[in-house]
């Protein structure tokens, strides 16, 4: 794990990240959990081939995922200290808020982050004591309005029809030997290119797709998690993914699934409404210097869509919401103007850093990409007026 020596580099980064007369006043991070076992416990239904064995239950955070999260926690802690938001050593508990969804992978990710960021400090990780999804993080449809249903289904259908995944589907047919899988024998799904797609819209449930997109999403997700976990390459897609070009063929399936289910303008505001409201109240209140919210890719995707994040690219990554990645909302105060400013960055680990379990050091930093909100004009440093952003955020859930 990177030590406090990272502080020297952070202080150097400060000079390029913000002007000397700007002070960091508040940070809220919306984080995806780190590496987990595949979610689907029914992968054998999609292929009769022998799938890799995991040491944890489906959907659970792995030991490597916890290790990587401690490293990113240590890096971010050093950054916060270097920018004067938090003191060296243990911060005041009243300045920190760490809140995770109820799933094991989110709770354990939050705990690992705290262990890396605030070593030997008494920092509480809040999470509801329930086996059900926390309503704040649950990306479900709550409004029974027929007009809303028609509008959302229209958005989902447009997104679905815009996808071009035939080449990826064709290659996955061969990789999983679909013609000999149980799903072919039982359901007649023997070709991902021609099988039917059905949009699923139910109150108190996530918007979904039943068909090739969801089936192949489960398959590619399992491949990705195996790759991130560092399994032997022959155990990743049975040795059929051997190059960045292969990953670039398949990962649009992950993005396409998220686009259809969570990226519509109307849809995203509906499913993310409780979380958007929660984030707004924290940022408006300004009583917590640092907040960490640990959820899922659906949370990050829907929040970004709802507030209008402009299209972005994450170098050295195949995903737009990579495992362990963090949207970092920053409030800066400019002493020259007396104004508060917003900066949003995506902080994440590259595919090689994840797969190789690389230590984060001064010469091997995590990646940082500045994000922009469509209706909040940014300057050449990626900053936009804080009050304007709060108004945009407020309108997403009103």
Q: Looking at the predicted structure, is the pLDDT value of residue 3 above 50?
A: no
pLDDT in tens, 341-398: 999 999 999 999 999 999 999 899 999 999 999 999 889 889 999 999 999 999 999 8
- Would you state the pLDDT for residue 20? 63
**Does 1 have pLDDT greater than 90?**
no
pLDDT digits (tens, 9 = 90+) for 188-198: 999 999 999 99
The mean pLDDT value for 241-249 works out to 95
Q: E strand or H helix at 369, and its extent?
A: strand 367-371
pLDDT digits (tens, 9 = 90+) for 161-184: 999 999 999 999 999 999 999 999
Give per-residue pLDDT as tens, 32-42.
Answer: 999 999 997 78
Judge whether residue 5 has pLDDT over 70. Answer: no
Q: Which of 180, 198, 297, 387 is catalytic?
A: 297
Q: Is the dihedral of CA 30, 152, 255, 257 positive or negative?
A: positive
CA-closest candidate to residue 292, choices 132, 86, 67, 13 = 86
Gap between the Cα atoms of 119 and 105, Å rounded: 20
pLDDT tens, residue by residue, 281-332: 999 998 999 999 999 999 999 999 999 999 999 999 999 999 999 999 999 9
What pLDDT score does 191 carry?
98
Secondary structure tally for the chain: helices H, strands E = 13, 10
Contacts of 339 (CB under 8 A, 6+ apart): 333, 385, 386
Cα 271 to Cα 19, 89, 111, 141, 253: the distances in Å are 37, 38, 26, 6, 21
Sign for the pseudo-dihedral over CA of 389, 390, 391, 397: positive
Q: Are 345 and 75 in contact (CB under 8 A)?
A: no
The answer to whether 333 is a known catalytic residue is no
Catalytically annotated residue among 33, 134, 221, 296: 33
Q: Answer yes or no: are the C-beta atoms of 141 and 201 closer than 8 Å.
A: yes
Mean per-residue pLDDT, 33-61: 94
Active site residue 297: yes
Q: How far is CA 335 from the centre of its chain?
A: 33
Mean of all residue pLDDT scores within the chain: 94
Q: Which residues contact 65 (CB under 8 A, 6 or more apart)?
A: 33, 34, 35, 36, 105, 108, 109, 112, 323, 324
**Model confidence at 12: pLDDT above 80:** no
Percent of the chain past pLDDT 70, that is, above it, reads: 95
Is the confidence at residue 15, as pLDDT, over 90?
no
Q: Which domains does the chain have, with CATH numbers?
A: 6-45+60-140+266-395 (3.40.50.1240), 146-264 (3.40.50.1240)
Element (H, E) at 29: strand 22-32
- Whether residue 241 has pLDDT greater than 90: yes
**For residues 143 and 270, what is the distance between their CA atoms, to the nearest angstrom?**
8
Tell me the whole-structure pTM to 2 decimals: 0.93
**H or E stretch covering 79:** helix 63-82
């Amino acid at each position: 794990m990177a030590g406090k020596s990272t502080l020297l580099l952070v202080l150097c980064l400060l000079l390029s990240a913000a002007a000397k007369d700007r002070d960091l006043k508040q940070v809220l991070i919306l984080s995806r959990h780190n590496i987990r076992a595949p979610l689907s416990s029914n992968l054998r239904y999609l292929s009769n081939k022998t799938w890799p064995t995991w040491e944890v239950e489906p959907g659970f955070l792995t030991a490597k995922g916890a290790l990587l999260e401690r490293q990113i926690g240590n890096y971010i802690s050093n950054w916060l200290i270097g920018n004067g938001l938090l003191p060296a050593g243990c911060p005041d508990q009243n300045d920190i808020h760490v809140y995770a969804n109820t799933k094991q992978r989110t709770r354990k990710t939050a705990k690992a982050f705290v262990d890396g960021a605030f070593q030997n400090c008494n920092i509480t990780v809040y999470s509801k004591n329930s086996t059900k999804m926390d309503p704040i993080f649950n990306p479900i449809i709550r409004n029974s309005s027929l007009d809303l249903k028609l509008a959302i289904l229209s958005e989902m259908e447009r997104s679905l029809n815009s996808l071009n995944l035939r080449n990826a589907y064709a290659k996955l047919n061969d990789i999983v030997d679909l013609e000999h899988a149980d799903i072919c024998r039982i359901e007649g799904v023997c070709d991902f290119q021609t099988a039917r797609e059905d949009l699923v819209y139910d109150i108190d449930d996530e918007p979904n797709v039943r068909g090739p997109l969801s089936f192949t999403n489960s398959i590619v997700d399992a491949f990705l998690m195996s790759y991130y976990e560092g399994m032997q390459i022959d155990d990743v897609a049975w040795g059929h993914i051997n190059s960045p070009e292969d990953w670039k063929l398949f990962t649009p399936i992950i993005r396409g699934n998220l686009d259809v289910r969570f990226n519509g303008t109307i849809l995203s505001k509906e499913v993310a409404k409780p979380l958007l409201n929660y984030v707004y109240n924290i940022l408006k209140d300004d009583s917590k210097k640092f907040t960490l919210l640990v959820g899922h890719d659906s949370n990050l995707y829907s929040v970004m869509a709802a507030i209008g994040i402009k299209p972005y690219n994450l170098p050295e990554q195949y995903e737009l919401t990579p495992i362990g990645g963090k949207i970092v909302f920053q409030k800066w105060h400019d002493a020259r103007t007396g104004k508060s400013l917003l900066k949003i960055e995506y902080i994440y680990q590259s595919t090689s850093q994840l797969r190789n379990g690389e230590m984060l050091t001064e010469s091997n930093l995590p990646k940082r990409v500045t994000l922009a909100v469509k209706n909040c004009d940014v300057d050449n440093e990626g900053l936009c007026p804080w009050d304007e952003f709060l108004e945009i955020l407020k309108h997403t859930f009103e």
